Amino acid sequence: MMRLMKKFAGLFLLVSVCGGLALAQDTQTPAPDQSSSTEPAKPKHSYPTPKGEISAGFVYRTYYGSSAGSIGMIGAYGSYIYDFYKWLGLEAEFMGVRGTLKLSNLPPEDLHVFTALVGPKVYLFGHHRLDPYGHFNYGAGILATSVPEFAGYGGNAGATAVRAWQVGGGVDLSIKRHWAVRVVQLDYASAKFLGNGVPNQGGKRVSFGITYRFGER
């Protein structure tokens, strides 16, 4: 747990520094022009606080399988954020990823992990060109498994539903007034599909995507 906390402390330190540099750049006053040119000053970009945000993109997530090893899973996420203030929003997210668990002398097991989570999202410096943020989400997770026919045995499928949560943060880069790129989002996710008696069932997650912002506070 201490190692995990140190990792996320390092993440928030990094995004905080990046956000601070972006904030300074956005608010910097240009030096007076010493020349006799009468060219008009370029308008500054403004990044108002939106009422809502919709984001979608790619997800890579690790899964701790029954073989006591982690496998990589890929998929997509979609989220909606309602912003109460320039620094605080409520996020609802759905994610789905797929992977294959391969064991010696056994058929491959097809795995699908789905999560539906909700929780607070905190913008460390409000809304600017570069927006570092942190969040915590809690909700439900579903693991769907299927095994094909093998050596005369019929295939089977099943599903397990458990409580799930994730904590992490990331950085959004504004490219237009209403559009931003999710440069990266890093999370630690937990869903104990194998039961509470099995330790170390957490997974690491990396996400990239695009964000559309609408409305204005």
The domain of 151 spans 2-24+50-214
**Residue at 44 is within a domain:** no
Question: The domain that contains 18 carries what CATH number?
Answer: 2.40.160.20
pLDDT digits (tens, 9 = 90+) for 30-54: 555 555 455 555 555 677 899 999 9
- Residue 33 included in any domain: no
pLDDT score recorded for residue 208: 97
**Residue 130 falls within a domain, yes or no?**
yes
Could you tell me if residue 34 is inside a domain? Answer: no
Indicate the number of domains in the chain. 1
Of the pLDDT bands very low, low, confident and very high (cuts 50, 70, 90), residue 177 is confident
Residue 142 zone, left/alpha/beta (φ > 0; ψ -120 to 50; rest):
beta
N-to-C CA span, the chain = 38
For the question of whether the overall pTM of this predicted structure is more than 0.85, the answer is no
CA 148 to chain centre: 33
d(CA 85, CA 69): 42
More confident residue, 80 or 157: 80
pLDDT in tens, 65-92: 655 568 899 999 999 999 999 999 999 9
Query: Does 204 reside within a domain?
Result: yes
The answer to whether residue 191 sits within a structural domain is yes
Neighbouring CB atoms inside 10 A of 33's CB total: 10
107 belongs to a structural domain: yes
| Residue 34: predicted pLDDT | 52
The predicted pLDDT at position 106 comes to: 76
Domain presence at residue 144: yes
Beta strands (DSSP E) in the chain are: 52-64, 70-83, 88-101, 109-123, 130-147, 156-174, 179-191, 202-214
Q: What is the pLDDT of residues 178-202, one digit of tens each?
A: 999 999 999 999 999 988 887 778 8
